[in-house]
Structure 1
Amino acid sequence: MRKPQIVVSTPFRLHSHQQVYALQQQRYLQKYICSTWHKPQSFPYKYFRYLPKALQRKINAFCAKRSYEPIDAYYVEQHPFAEVVRVLLNELTRSRFNKYLVDWQHQTHDSIAAKRLKKLHPDIVVGYEISCAETFRTAKEMGITTVLDLANVHYEYCTPLEKIFDGDDFDHQLTKAINQRKEIEYRHSDYILCISQLAYNSLRDNGIPEEKIRLVNLGADLSIFQCKKHQQNEKFSMLFVGSVIKRKGVDLLLEALQELQLKNSELTIVGANDHNDILSKYDQSLFTHIPFLPHSELVQHFHKAHVFILPSYLDSWGMVVNEAMACGTPVIISDNVGSKDLVTKENGFVVPHGNVKALQEKILYCYHHRDELFAMGQKAGESVVKFTWEQYARNLCVVIDDIYKNRK
């Protein structure tokens, strides 16, 4: 049987680089349409080394999230205009209009990808949520099989939570417009890939036929994130990794710690702040903030931490949970983090989302029982052995083969 020719389209990387690499390995990949992709030997990237050192560091951090060395540059088709405009305007406005710029970037990318389909004529197009409504409409007109990769959950599950973590910044009109596009994407998708049981259930419970849904869990790179051999730090050390936004529950974590005032303890927050003022509202002695770390350095922080904490209001999966557990660090996460599927009472804790008291209770348990945490971390490492990117690739390709075989 002829191998399928597949186009993957997304304006943001998310987990698409692993998907694209898996398809490339099977010779299924036709094109990877993205916003910005770092090609070190191409214009303009090869001239970045002549920029001032401070600017180089900032650009390198940006590019690190928009590259993956195993992907052959031949397959990558980048359209950077919208992302460059968004990033520059965010810098000028301190991200005041970021959500509108992000939405504009999604729509701009969607329009570009739809036009490119008419030239490429793939068998299957994989589009990412909020950025493929027009692409899928065009695909259906052309008889192309459509696969929605849902990195989130169904919008009916998500919207009430967005009202909580967005607070006064919640924009009803923008959310309504985005949800209408999501509805079009659901309707025009032949299949929907989701990344957790949480996401699967949200789709099923909101009327998406189960025969249309395929669950493919995400993984971690166990060649980088390796289990620690001993606990390196005597001071009680907590770690949060993720964007410094309310959605990730960083405000809940800081509120919990500000009340607890734990002696001889430390919290390290690793993640982009993007000009929001969450951190400024709390006692600065509570934490150390690091805007970005490459994986090679992030591993050291996972090894140093007694416990990893991700109290998100909503996270469809949360790859950092895999990575923390792979490093032998027990976790405290909320019940709205999809990777809770990995967590048992032997390797971590799951707390109700938005519940500061429950979060404090588990932090205090870890603080007073830190002699138990190393053994819990070893159990955590054992729990994620099957959740690798290699296994993700195998599961994905089984799904794609089935989709191609049964295409209409």
Structure 2
Amino acid sequence: MTPVLVTHPGLQHSHQLALALYERSLLQSFWSGVPVVAEGETLPWWLPAGYRSKVRTVDIPRALRRHPARFQLALRMSNRVNLGIPASDMVHRVFHWFDHWAARQIRQFKPKVVVAYENAAFHTFQAAKAIGARCVLDAAAFHHQTAARLLGTPATPYTPEINRRKDEEIRLADLILTCSPLAAESYIANGVPGDRLRPMMLGAERPPGLPGWQAHDGPPRFVFAGALSRLKSIDSIVAAFRRLHAEGIAYDLEFVGGVADAELLRSVLATPHARHTPNVPQSELFSILARADCLLLPSRFDSFGMVVAEAMACGTPAVVSTNTGAKAMIEAFPGSGWIVEPGVESLHAQLRQLAQRPEQLHAARSMARQSGDAFSWASYRQRAGELFEEFVQ
């Protein structure tokens, strides 16, 4: 019997893990709130356009998948109706609802191993333990105590319950997957034994037919992709480039993505030679990354930073912070990018050097592509498949 069940209230990278298991005949079933489709499969006509945009094509047969839409639709409805609940708490509550739903199905399926994701595994793991199944927690973020210390987000009335469930998920897990060695270190720092942790670096794949980078006249092209937030150090990026402008150093700067802080958007638009492009489809984002000379992700903290893998899949080097998990891609392939301390001073010094010597950016493209190849989704599935083959024995 194929022994592994994978559950996720949204999607994140769960479809890649499920595919890795399916490729090794280890997948019993894959349950995700955001659906995936196999090649040639059509989506229901009534699915909202915003929901459709999240759908990925994955070669997992329909018979091995369940996609209850009620959870994501509840999130969409809550965004339109003022329920008096903070938006972040509403996301957690819906994830907990999915957790209840998944737990009720466990006895029928009787898996040997259950993979569930952070903040949606509490009841699922309790049900799994009741039938003797082993539990794997896939944790997309830093340990919540480290995240609270670094981010400083004010607590809500629901925060204690969220953290209580996260602590219990960690306790019940036989194995915890993290997105990077940096994220694993945060769990160790909070008392989780290292032998229960396994960093599992994520990946990206360059779309077929994507035009490659072309040498160009004019200043170097820097790009940031992601939400405009202090977490991603947008304020530091803006301050560093304003200094470059004051020093008479030429550059081209593009920000791509949503707006988490309207004040930061105003700051971006007031920065010389900078522009903002709202959220774009994934294919267009890859085209922007491929045209750029350098990606910027000097986050205050980031358990991975998927856009770094996406940029390097295009051969575009990156500047990341010491608090960004994807720095491991640069550490594994020195010369594929640059690692700076969070904050304006270190970032400005590095950007100044690169803007004045753009040949460094061009020379880094070869190593960036090698890093992108090594940390592709195919590589992730290979590593994940080997891990689970050993784990289920």
What TM-score do you get using the length of structure 1 for normalisation?
A: 0.86
Give distance in 1, aligned partners of 2:370 and 2:210.
11
Question: Does the CA-based 8 Å contact 1:228-1:303 persist in structure 2?
Answer: yes
Q: Shift of the alpha carbon at 1:239? A: 0.9
- Which residue matches 1:216? 200
Counterpart in 1 of 2:368?
A: 380
- Out of 31, 51, 54, the residue aligned to residue 65 of structure 1 is 54
Structure-2 change in CA distance of 1:93 and 1:35 (3 Å)? same
Alpha-carbon shift at residue 259 of structure 1 (Å)? 4.6
Q: 1:332 Cα shift?
A: 0.8
Q: Does 1:341 align with 2:328?
A: yes
Give CA-to-partner distance per residue, 1:45-104, whole Å, 9 cap, x none. 3246xxxxxxxxxx5454232323423333221222232122233245699832011111
- Is 1:198 aligned to residue 182 of structure 2? yes
User: Do residues 306 (structure 1) and 293 (structure 2) align?
Assistant: yes
Aligned pair partner of 2:311 in 301, 324, 337? 324
Select 1:183's aligned residue among 149, 152, 167. Answer: 167
Equivalent-residue separation in structure 1 for 2:208 and 2:217 (angstroms): 20
> CA offset at residue 351 of structure 1?
1.4
SS in 1 for 2:115: strand
With over 3 angstroms needed to count, the CA separation of the structure-2 counterparts of 1:240 and 1:294, relative to structure 1, is same
**Cα distance between partner residues in 1 of 2:202 and 2:218:** 33
Match of 1:284 among 269, 273, 278: 269
Q: For the Cα contact (< 8 Å) 2:206–2:286, is it kept in 1?
A: no
Label 1:222 to 1:67 Cα distance change in 2 as closer, same or farther (>3 A): closer
Instruction: Measure the CA separation in 1 of the matches of 2:59 and 2:229.
Output: 31
Q: Which residue of 1 aligns with 2:136?
A: 147
- Report the equivalent of 2:12: 14
In structure 1, the residue matched to 2:98 is: 109
The 1:159/1:125 distance shift into structure 2, 3 A limit, reads same
Residues 224 and 299, structure 1, Cα contact 8 Å, conserved in 2: no
Local SS of the residue matching 2:94: helix
Amino acid at match of 2:116: G
Tell me, yes or no, if structure 1 residue 271 matches structure 2 residue 270.
no
Residue 46 of structure 1 corresponds to: 45
Specify every segment of 5 or more residues in structure 1 that has no aligned partner in the other structure, as ranges: 49-58
Conservation of the 8 A alpha-carbon contact between 1:155 and 1:179: yes
User: SS state of the match for residue 143, structure 1?
Assistant: coil
Specify whether residues 70 and 371 from structure 1 end up closer, same or farther in structure 2 by C-alpha distance, changes over 3 A only.
Answer: same
Contact 1:225–1:323 under 8 Å retained in 2: no
2:281 to 294, 297, 317: 294
Structure 1 residue aligned with 2:149: 160
SS in 2 for 1:219: coil
Distance 1:7 1:251 in 2: 42
TM-superposed CA distance for 1:11, in Å, is 1.2
Alignment CA distance shift 1:183-1:305 (3 Å): same
Quote the Cα distance in structure 2 between the aligned partners of 1:340 and 1:95.
Answer: 39
Aligned pair partner of 2:23 in 18, 22, 25: 25
2:176 alignment partner, SS class: strand
Once the two structures are TM-superposed, the CA of residue 175 in structure 1 deviates from its matched residue by: 3.3
Give deviations 1:307-329, integer Å, cap 9, x for gaps: 10012122111121122122222
Q: In structure 1, which of residues 360, 363, 367 is the aligned counterpart of residue 348 of structure 2?
A: 360
CA shift for structure 1 position 137: 1.0
Summarize the Cα distance change of 1:281–1:222 in structure 2 as closer, same or farther, 3 Å threshold: closer
Q: Superposition RMSD on alpha carbons, in Å?
A: 2.7
SS in 2 for 1:238: strand
Alpha-carbon distance between aligned partners in 2 of 1:95 and 1:249, rounded to the nearest angstrom: 30
Conserved? CA contact 1:225–1:326, under 8 Å: no
Q: Which moved more, 1:249-258 or 1:127-136?
A: 249-258
SS in 1 for 2:191: coil
Identity of aligned residues (%): 27
- Cα distance change, pair 95–35 in 1 and its aligned pair in 2 (3 A): farther
Q: Which has the higher mean CA deviation after the structures are superposed, 18-27 or 344-353?
A: 344-353
CA contact (8 A) 1:89 1:95 kept: no
Whichever residue aligns with residue 35 of structure 1, its letter is G
Which residue number in structure 1 is paired with residue 88 of structure 2? Answer: 99
Q: Take 1:128 and 1:352, find their aligned partners in 2: how far apart are those partners?
A: 30
| Greater percentage in helix | 1
Find the aligned partners of 2:205 and 2:114 in 1 and give their Cα distance.
26
State the distance in 1 between where 2:108 and 2:42 align.
Answer: 24
Question: 1:180 deviation in Å?
Answer: 1.3
Deviation for aligned residue 1:9: 0.9
Residues 238 and 309, structure 1, Cα contact 8 Å, conserved in 2:
yes
Q: Is the 8 A contact 1:161 1:314 kept in 2?
A: yes
Task: Tell me by how many angstroms 1:371 deviates.
Answer: 2.3
Instruction: Identify if the C-alpha distance between structure 1 residues 291 and 28 changes in structure 2 by more than 3 Å, giving closer, same or farther.
Output: farther
Paired amino acid for 2:254? T
Say whether the 8 Å CA contact 1:90–1:96 is kept in structure 2.
no
- Counterpart position of 1:37: 35
Q: C-alpha offsets along residues 4-34 of structure 1, whole Å, 9 cap, x if unaligned?
A: 4211111121111111111122222222222
Q: Say if 2:387 is the partner of 1:399.
A: yes
Residue aligned with 2:316, SS: coil
